Amino acid sequence: MKIDTIVSRYVPLSRQRRLLLLFSLAWMADAAGVMLITFTLPGIMKEWNLSLMEAGTIASSTFIGMLLGAFSSGFIADMVGRKMAMNFYLFFTVFFTVIDGFAPTPVMFMVFRFLAGVGYGGLMPSVNAYLSESVSINIRGRYLVLLEASWAVGSILMATYAVTLGARFGWRSDYIVMGLWGLLFIPFLMVSESPKYVFLKSGKEGLEKVLNVRISEDIDPVVKTRVPIGALFTREHYRKTIMVWISWFVVSLVYYGLFIWLPKIFASSGMSEAKSLWFTFFMMLAQLPGYLSAAYCIEKIGRRISLAVYFFGTGVSALLFSLVSGTVSLIVVALSASFFCLGVWGLVYAYTPELFPTSFRGTANGSAGVMARIAGIIAPYFTALFMRAGKVYYALLSFAILCVVAGVIVFILGEETKGVETG
Protein backbone atom coordinates (compact mmCIF):
# COMPACT_ATOMS: atom_id res chain seq x y z
CA MET A 1 0.00 0.00 0.00
CA LYS A 2 1.23 3.49 -0.87
CA ILE A 3 2.20 5.87 1.94
CA ASP A 4 -0.36 8.38 0.57
CA THR A 5 -3.14 5.86 1.27
CA ILE A 6 -1.80 5.31 4.79
CA VAL A 7 -1.80 9.07 5.47
CA SER A 8 -5.38 9.35 4.19
CA ARG A 9 -6.48 6.42 6.35
CA TYR A 10 -4.64 7.07 9.63
CA VAL A 11 -4.19 10.85 9.92
CA PRO A 12 -7.54 12.13 11.28
CA LEU A 13 -9.24 14.88 9.32
CA SER A 14 -9.42 16.94 12.52
CA ARG A 15 -5.61 16.86 12.75
CA GLN A 16 -5.28 17.82 9.11
CA ARG A 17 -7.54 20.81 9.70
CA ARG A 18 -5.57 21.88 12.79
CA LEU A 19 -2.34 21.70 10.82
CA LEU A 20 -3.83 23.85 8.06
CA LEU A 21 -4.97 26.44 10.60
CA LEU A 22 -1.67 26.54 12.49
CA PHE A 23 0.49 26.68 9.36
CA SER A 24 -1.80 29.31 7.85
CA LEU A 25 -1.09 31.58 10.82
CA ALA A 26 2.65 31.13 10.26
CA TRP A 27 2.18 31.79 6.54
CA MET A 28 0.31 35.00 7.33
CA ALA A 29 3.21 36.19 9.47
CA ASP A 30 5.64 35.37 6.68
CA ALA A 31 3.54 37.31 4.18
CA ALA A 32 3.19 40.28 6.50
CA GLY A 33 6.94 40.37 7.04
CA VAL A 34 7.83 40.18 3.36
CA MET A 35 5.20 42.66 2.17
CA LEU A 36 5.94 45.23 4.89
CA ILE A 37 8.45 46.76 2.53
CA THR A 38 5.67 47.77 0.11
CA PHE A 39 4.04 50.07 2.67
CA THR A 40 7.12 51.15 4.60
CA LEU A 41 9.50 51.91 1.74
CA PRO A 42 8.11 55.43 1.11
CA GLY A 43 8.61 56.31 4.79
CA ILE A 44 12.08 54.71 4.84
CA MET A 45 13.10 56.68 1.74
CA LYS A 46 11.88 59.90 3.33
CA GLU A 47 13.57 59.35 6.73
CA TRP A 48 16.97 58.48 5.26
CA ASN A 49 16.66 60.53 2.04
CA LEU A 50 17.25 57.54 -0.25
CA SER A 51 17.23 57.45 -4.05
CA LEU A 52 15.14 54.97 -6.05
CA MET A 53 18.15 52.70 -6.60
CA GLU A 54 19.14 52.83 -2.91
CA ALA A 55 15.57 51.95 -1.99
CA GLY A 56 15.72 49.12 -4.53
CA THR A 57 18.84 47.80 -2.78
CA ILE A 58 17.02 47.80 0.56
CA ALA A 59 14.11 45.93 -0.99
CA SER A 60 16.45 43.42 -2.62
CA SER A 61 18.23 42.69 0.68
CA THR A 62 15.06 40.88 1.77
CA PHE A 63 15.20 38.62 -1.25
CA ILE A 64 18.92 37.96 -0.94
CA GLY A 65 18.16 36.63 2.53
CA MET A 66 15.19 34.70 1.17
CA LEU A 67 17.48 33.19 -1.46
CA LEU A 68 19.78 31.85 1.26
CA GLY A 69 16.78 30.64 3.26
CA ALA A 70 15.21 28.87 0.30
CA PHE A 71 18.54 27.37 -0.80
CA SER A 72 19.30 25.98 2.66
CA SER A 73 15.76 24.93 3.57
CA GLY A 74 15.65 21.96 1.22
CA PHE A 75 18.84 20.44 2.58
CA ILE A 76 17.88 21.08 6.21
CA ALA A 77 14.33 19.75 5.73
CA ASP A 78 15.60 16.61 3.99
CA MET A 79 18.48 16.01 6.43
CA VAL A 80 17.05 16.79 9.89
CA GLY A 81 13.33 16.91 9.21
CA ARG A 82 10.52 19.26 8.32
CA LYS A 83 9.77 20.14 11.96
CA MET A 84 13.32 21.21 12.80
CA ALA A 85 13.55 23.28 9.63
CA MET A 86 10.25 25.04 10.32
CA ASN A 87 11.21 26.02 13.86
CA PHE A 88 14.66 27.22 12.84
CA TYR A 89 13.33 29.54 10.13
CA LEU A 90 10.41 30.70 12.27
CA PHE A 91 12.89 32.05 14.82
CA PHE A 92 14.68 34.10 12.14
CA THR A 93 11.34 35.35 10.80
CA VAL A 94 10.07 36.63 14.15
CA PHE A 95 13.24 37.89 15.82
CA PHE A 96 14.77 39.89 12.98
CA THR A 97 11.48 41.41 11.84
CA VAL A 98 11.12 42.96 15.30
CA ILE A 99 14.76 44.08 15.36
CA ASP A 100 14.30 45.84 12.01
CA GLY A 101 11.95 48.27 13.73
CA PHE A 102 14.91 49.53 15.80
CA ALA A 103 17.48 49.82 12.98
CA PRO A 104 19.50 53.07 13.45
CA THR A 105 20.88 53.32 9.89
CA PRO A 106 19.99 52.12 6.37
CA VAL A 107 22.93 49.69 6.47
CA MET A 108 21.79 48.09 9.72
CA PHE A 109 18.24 47.95 8.40
CA MET A 110 19.50 46.01 5.35
CA VAL A 111 21.48 43.60 7.54
CA PHE A 112 18.48 42.86 9.76
CA ARG A 113 16.21 42.69 6.74
CA PHE A 114 18.57 40.18 5.12
CA LEU A 115 18.50 37.97 8.24
CA ALA A 116 14.71 38.21 8.45
CA GLY A 117 14.67 37.24 4.78
CA VAL A 118 16.54 34.02 5.62
CA GLY A 119 13.56 33.14 7.80
CA TYR A 120 10.95 34.19 5.23
CA GLY A 121 12.63 32.22 2.46
CA GLY A 122 13.21 29.06 4.47
CA LEU A 123 9.93 28.86 6.36
CA MET A 124 7.61 28.66 3.36
CA PRO A 125 9.10 25.62 1.54
CA SER A 126 9.53 23.81 4.87
CA VAL A 127 5.89 24.32 5.84
CA ASN A 128 4.76 23.51 2.30
CA ALA A 129 6.63 20.18 2.32
CA TYR A 130 5.28 19.27 5.78
CA LEU A 131 1.62 19.94 4.94
CA SER A 132 1.83 18.15 1.59
CA GLU A 133 3.05 15.06 3.45
CA SER A 134 0.39 15.21 6.18
CA VAL A 135 -2.96 15.54 4.37
CA SER A 136 -5.14 13.17 2.36
CA ILE A 137 -4.52 12.95 -1.36
CA ASN A 138 -8.10 13.91 -2.24
CA ILE A 139 -7.85 17.29 -0.48
CA ARG A 140 -4.11 17.92 -0.73
CA GLY A 141 -4.28 20.36 -3.64
CA ARG A 142 -7.05 22.40 -2.06
CA TYR A 143 -5.31 22.52 1.32
CA LEU A 144 -2.02 23.66 -0.20
CA VAL A 145 -3.74 26.46 -2.12
CA LEU A 146 -5.65 27.49 1.02
CA LEU A 147 -2.33 27.55 2.85
CA GLU A 148 -0.94 29.88 0.22
CA ALA A 149 -4.18 31.91 0.40
CA SER A 150 -3.07 32.81 3.92
CA TRP A 151 -0.48 35.01 2.21
CA ALA A 152 -3.31 37.28 1.10
CA VAL A 153 -4.82 37.34 4.59
CA GLY A 154 -1.45 38.22 6.12
CA SER A 155 -0.89 40.91 3.51
CA ILE A 156 -4.34 42.38 4.13
CA LEU A 157 -3.88 42.43 7.91
CA MET A 158 -0.46 44.04 7.52
CA ALA A 159 -1.82 46.56 5.01
CA THR A 160 -4.73 47.42 7.31
CA TYR A 161 -2.34 48.25 10.13
CA ALA A 162 0.04 50.13 7.81
CA VAL A 163 -2.59 52.49 6.39
CA THR A 164 -4.23 53.14 9.79
CA LEU A 165 -2.16 52.89 12.98
CA GLY A 166 1.10 52.53 11.05
CA ALA A 167 0.47 55.84 9.31
CA ARG A 168 0.09 57.41 12.75
CA PHE A 169 2.95 55.77 14.62
CA GLY A 170 5.46 55.50 11.78
CA TRP A 171 6.98 52.73 9.67
CA ARG A 172 9.04 51.31 12.55
CA SER A 173 5.91 50.26 14.42
CA ASP A 174 4.91 48.10 11.45
CA TYR A 175 7.97 45.87 11.90
CA ILE A 176 7.65 45.65 15.68
CA VAL A 177 3.95 44.77 15.64
CA MET A 178 4.20 42.30 12.75
CA GLY A 179 7.24 40.61 14.27
CA LEU A 180 5.56 40.15 17.64
CA TRP A 181 2.82 38.30 15.78
CA GLY A 182 5.21 35.37 16.04
CA LEU A 183 4.33 34.95 19.73
CA LEU A 184 1.15 33.26 18.49
CA PHE A 185 3.19 30.37 17.16
CA ILE A 186 4.32 28.67 20.35
CA PRO A 187 2.17 25.61 19.38
CA PHE A 188 4.17 25.51 16.15
CA LEU A 189 7.13 24.20 18.15
CA MET A 190 5.14 21.26 19.47
CA VAL A 191 4.00 19.53 16.26
CA SER A 192 5.35 16.05 15.55
CA GLU A 193 7.37 15.23 12.45
CA SER A 194 5.51 14.72 9.15
CA PRO A 195 4.29 11.12 8.60
CA LYS A 196 6.02 10.64 5.25
CA TYR A 197 9.36 11.91 6.52
CA VAL A 198 9.14 9.66 9.59
CA PHE A 199 8.38 6.66 7.38
CA LEU A 200 11.31 7.53 5.11
CA LYS A 201 13.74 7.71 8.04
CA SER A 202 12.32 5.24 10.59
CA GLY A 203 10.07 2.91 8.64
CA LYS A 204 6.70 1.54 9.68
CA GLU A 205 7.61 1.34 13.37
CA GLY A 206 8.48 5.03 13.53
CA LEU A 207 5.31 5.92 11.63
CA GLU A 208 3.15 3.98 14.07
CA LYS A 209 4.81 5.76 16.97
CA VAL A 210 4.32 9.28 15.60
CA LEU A 211 0.70 8.58 14.58
CA ASN A 212 0.00 6.60 17.78
CA VAL A 213 -1.78 3.85 15.86
CA ARG A 214 -1.26 0.22 14.89
CA ILE A 215 -0.91 -0.16 11.10
CA SER A 216 -1.78 -3.63 9.83
CA GLU A 217 -1.12 -2.99 6.15
CA ASP A 218 2.23 -3.40 4.42
CA ILE A 219 3.59 -0.09 3.12
CA ASP A 220 5.49 0.23 -0.14
CA PRO A 221 9.03 1.47 0.55
CA VAL A 222 10.00 5.01 -0.43
CA VAL A 223 12.91 5.28 -2.85
CA LYS A 224 15.86 6.99 -1.14
CA THR A 225 18.10 9.40 -3.01
CA ARG A 226 21.78 9.89 -2.21
CA VAL A 227 22.18 13.20 -4.10
CA PRO A 228 18.81 15.02 -3.91
CA ILE A 229 19.83 17.98 -6.07
CA GLY A 230 21.06 15.63 -8.80
CA ALA A 231 17.76 13.74 -8.75
CA LEU A 232 16.02 16.87 -10.05
CA PHE A 233 17.80 16.40 -13.38
CA THR A 234 17.29 12.69 -13.93
CA ARG A 235 15.49 11.56 -17.07
CA GLU A 236 12.28 11.13 -15.10
CA HIS A 237 12.24 14.58 -13.49
CA TYR A 238 14.21 17.13 -15.55
CA ARG A 239 11.21 18.37 -17.58
CA LYS A 240 9.22 18.94 -14.40
CA THR A 241 12.19 20.73 -12.81
CA ILE A 242 12.53 23.09 -15.77
CA MET A 243 8.81 23.85 -15.76
CA VAL A 244 8.74 24.44 -11.99
CA TRP A 245 11.80 26.67 -11.98
CA ILE A 246 10.51 28.85 -14.83
CA SER A 247 7.08 29.14 -13.20
CA TRP A 248 8.50 30.23 -9.85
CA PHE A 249 10.95 32.67 -11.40
CA VAL A 250 8.33 34.39 -13.56
CA VAL A 251 5.59 34.69 -10.93
CA SER A 252 8.08 36.06 -8.39
CA LEU A 253 9.54 38.60 -10.81
CA VAL A 254 6.09 39.83 -11.78
CA TYR A 255 4.68 39.87 -8.26
CA TYR A 256 7.52 41.67 -6.52
CA GLY A 257 8.38 43.85 -9.52
CA LEU A 258 4.82 45.12 -9.42
CA PHE A 259 3.76 45.07 -5.76
CA ILE A 260 6.91 46.54 -4.17
CA TRP A 261 6.57 49.64 -6.31
CA LEU A 262 2.76 49.89 -6.45
CA PRO A 263 2.50 53.03 -4.29
CA LYS A 264 5.11 54.71 -6.50
CA ILE A 265 3.41 53.48 -9.71
CA PHE A 266 0.07 54.86 -8.56
CA ALA A 267 1.74 58.09 -7.40
CA SER A 268 3.34 58.50 -10.85
CA SER A 269 -0.19 58.72 -12.30
CA GLY A 270 -0.88 61.79 -10.15
CA MET A 271 -2.26 60.25 -6.93
CA SER A 272 -1.24 61.54 -3.52
CA GLU A 273 0.99 59.31 -1.38
CA ALA A 274 -1.83 58.56 1.08
CA LYS A 275 -4.26 57.73 -1.72
CA SER A 276 -1.74 55.49 -3.49
CA LEU A 277 -1.24 53.51 -0.25
CA TRP A 278 -4.98 52.99 0.04
CA PHE A 279 -5.23 51.84 -3.59
CA THR A 280 -2.38 49.41 -2.90
CA PHE A 281 -4.38 48.17 0.08
CA PHE A 282 -7.36 47.43 -2.19
CA MET A 283 -5.08 45.46 -4.50
CA MET A 284 -4.06 43.37 -1.50
CA LEU A 285 -7.75 42.59 -0.95
CA ALA A 286 -8.00 41.27 -4.52
CA GLN A 287 -5.39 38.64 -3.70
CA LEU A 288 -7.79 36.61 -1.55
CA PRO A 289 -10.42 35.85 -4.25
CA GLY A 290 -7.54 34.98 -6.57
CA TYR A 291 -6.37 32.30 -4.14
CA LEU A 292 -9.87 31.02 -3.41
CA SER A 293 -10.71 30.68 -7.10
CA ALA A 294 -7.44 28.77 -7.60
CA ALA A 295 -8.37 26.46 -4.70
CA TYR A 296 -11.59 25.65 -6.54
CA CYS A 297 -10.03 25.22 -9.97
CA ILE A 298 -7.13 23.04 -8.81
CA GLU A 299 -9.48 20.22 -7.80
CA LYS A 300 -12.14 20.90 -10.44
CA ILE A 301 -10.04 21.13 -13.62
CA GLY A 302 -6.59 20.07 -12.43
CA ARG A 303 -3.18 21.59 -11.71
CA ARG A 304 -1.63 21.92 -15.16
CA ILE A 305 -4.49 23.63 -17.01
CA SER A 306 -5.32 25.89 -14.05
CA LEU A 307 -1.74 27.13 -13.76
CA ALA A 308 -1.47 27.82 -17.49
CA VAL A 309 -4.79 29.72 -17.51
CA TYR A 310 -3.86 31.86 -14.51
CA PHE A 311 -0.49 32.68 -16.08
CA PHE A 312 -2.29 33.82 -19.24
CA GLY A 313 -4.69 35.90 -17.13
CA THR A 314 -1.78 37.58 -15.34
CA GLY A 315 -0.10 38.30 -18.68
CA VAL A 316 -3.21 39.90 -20.20
CA SER A 317 -3.75 41.99 -17.05
CA ALA A 318 -0.14 43.22 -17.08
CA LEU A 319 -0.47 44.12 -20.76
CA LEU A 320 -3.62 46.14 -20.10
CA PHE A 321 -1.92 47.71 -17.06
CA SER A 322 0.72 49.09 -19.42
CA LEU A 323 -1.90 50.57 -21.78
CA VAL A 324 -4.61 52.19 -19.60
CA SER A 325 -4.33 55.73 -18.26
CA GLY A 326 -7.56 56.67 -16.44
CA THR A 327 -7.75 56.17 -12.68
CA VAL A 328 -10.78 53.86 -12.79
CA SER A 329 -9.31 51.76 -15.61
CA LEU A 330 -5.99 51.58 -13.80
CA ILE A 331 -7.61 50.28 -10.62
CA VAL A 332 -9.75 47.69 -12.43
CA VAL A 333 -6.76 46.32 -14.35
CA ALA A 334 -4.57 46.38 -11.23
CA LEU A 335 -7.19 44.34 -9.34
CA SER A 336 -7.30 41.85 -12.21
CA ALA A 337 -3.50 41.52 -12.17
CA SER A 338 -3.59 40.93 -8.41
CA PHE A 339 -6.34 38.31 -8.77
CA PHE A 340 -4.56 36.21 -11.41
CA CYS A 341 -1.01 36.65 -10.11
CA LEU A 342 -1.89 35.45 -6.63
CA GLY A 343 -3.83 32.58 -8.16
CA VAL A 344 -0.59 31.56 -9.86
CA TRP A 345 1.23 31.67 -6.52
CA GLY A 346 -1.34 29.42 -4.90
CA LEU A 347 -1.18 26.93 -7.75
CA VAL A 348 2.62 26.64 -7.94
CA TYR A 349 2.84 26.09 -4.18
CA ALA A 350 0.31 23.26 -4.39
CA TYR A 351 1.60 21.77 -7.65
CA THR A 352 5.34 21.64 -6.91
CA PRO A 353 5.45 19.19 -3.96
CA GLU A 354 3.13 16.81 -5.82
CA LEU A 355 5.59 16.48 -8.70
CA PHE A 356 8.48 15.03 -6.65
CA PRO A 357 8.91 12.09 -4.22
CA THR A 358 9.43 12.33 -0.45
CA SER A 359 13.17 11.58 -0.62
CA PHE A 360 13.94 14.92 -2.27
CA ARG A 361 10.66 16.86 -2.00
CA GLY A 362 12.27 19.34 0.41
CA THR A 363 15.12 19.91 -2.02
CA ALA A 364 12.68 20.35 -4.92
CA ASN A 365 10.65 22.87 -2.92
CA GLY A 366 13.81 24.66 -1.81
CA SER A 367 15.22 24.85 -5.33
CA ALA A 368 11.95 26.31 -6.58
CA GLY A 369 12.16 28.86 -3.78
CA VAL A 370 15.70 29.72 -4.88
CA MET A 371 14.43 30.60 -8.36
CA ALA A 372 11.73 32.76 -6.81
CA ARG A 373 14.25 34.58 -4.62
CA ILE A 374 16.64 35.21 -7.51
CA ALA A 375 13.72 36.83 -9.31
CA GLY A 376 12.85 38.73 -6.12
CA ILE A 377 16.36 40.17 -5.96
CA ILE A 378 16.14 41.32 -9.58
CA ALA A 379 12.55 42.60 -9.42
CA PRO A 380 13.02 45.85 -7.41
CA TYR A 381 15.90 46.98 -9.67
CA PHE A 382 14.08 45.88 -12.83
CA THR A 383 11.06 48.08 -12.18
CA ALA A 384 13.12 50.92 -10.66
CA LEU A 385 15.22 51.24 -13.81
CA PHE A 386 12.13 51.80 -15.95
CA MET A 387 10.55 54.11 -13.35
CA ARG A 388 13.68 56.24 -13.25
CA ALA A 389 13.44 56.61 -17.03
CA GLY A 390 9.72 57.42 -16.79
CA LYS A 391 8.78 54.30 -18.80
CA VAL A 392 7.20 51.95 -16.29
CA TYR A 393 4.92 50.56 -19.02
CA TYR A 394 7.93 48.79 -20.54
CA ALA A 395 8.35 46.85 -17.30
CA LEU A 396 4.66 45.91 -17.37
CA LEU A 397 4.93 44.84 -21.01
CA SER A 398 7.91 42.63 -20.10
CA PHE A 399 5.88 41.05 -17.32
CA ALA A 400 3.05 40.31 -19.77
CA ILE A 401 5.35 38.55 -22.24
CA LEU A 402 7.03 36.47 -19.52
CA CYS A 403 3.67 35.30 -18.15
CA VAL A 404 2.44 34.16 -21.56
CA VAL A 405 5.70 32.29 -22.18
CA ALA A 406 5.48 30.64 -18.75
CA GLY A 407 1.88 29.59 -19.42
CA VAL A 408 2.90 27.92 -22.68
CA ILE A 409 5.79 26.09 -20.96
CA VAL A 410 3.45 24.83 -18.21
CA PHE A 411 1.04 23.57 -20.86
CA ILE A 412 3.80 21.75 -22.76
CA LEU A 413 6.02 20.40 -19.95
CA GLY A 414 3.57 20.08 -17.08
CA GLU A 415 2.14 16.78 -15.85
CA GLU A 416 -1.26 16.44 -14.22
CA THR A 417 -0.99 15.33 -10.58
CA LYS A 418 -4.62 15.53 -9.53
CA GLY A 419 -5.41 12.32 -7.64
CA VAL A 420 -1.94 10.86 -8.32
CA GLU A 421 -0.21 9.17 -5.37
CA THR A 422 3.40 10.23 -4.66
CA GLY A 423 6.05 8.16 -2.91
Provide the pLDDT for residue 274.
67
Q: Residue 422 falls within a domain, yes or no?
A: no
Q: Residue 337 falls within a domain, yes or no?
A: yes
CB-CB neighbours of 369 under 10 Å: 30
Q: Residue 347 falls within a domain, yes or no?
A: yes
Q: How far apart are CA 121 and CA 309, in angstroms?
A: 27
Q: How far apart are CA 7 and CA 16, in angstroms?
A: 10
CB-CB neighbours of 187 under 10 Å: 11
Look at the chain and report how many structural domains it folds into.
Answer: 1
Q: Residue 353 falls within a domain, yes or no?
A: yes
421: CB partners within 8 A, 6+ apart: 2, 4, 5, 137
CATH at residue 165 = 1.20.1250.20
Q: Are 295 and 146 in contact (CB under 8 A)?
A: yes
pLDDT along the chain (423 residues), means of 10: 81 89 87 86 90 85 88 83 88 90 94 94 86 86 85 85 86 86 70 85 84 82 64 84 95 87 69 70 79 87 93 93 76 87 88 82 80 86 82 87 96 85 61
Q: Are 152 and 286 in contact (CB under 8 A)?
A: no
The parent domain of residue 23 ranges over 3-413
Q: Residue 418 falls within a domain, yes or no?
A: no
DSSP 4-59: HHHHHHHS-HHHHHHHHHHHHHHHHHHHHHHHHHHHHHHHHHHHHT--HHHHHHHH
Q: Residue 419 falls within a domain, yes or no?
A: no
| pTM of the full structure | 0.73
Measured in degrees and rounded to the nearest 5, phi and psi for residue 187 equal -60, -25
Q: Residue 104 falls within a domain, yes or no?
A: yes
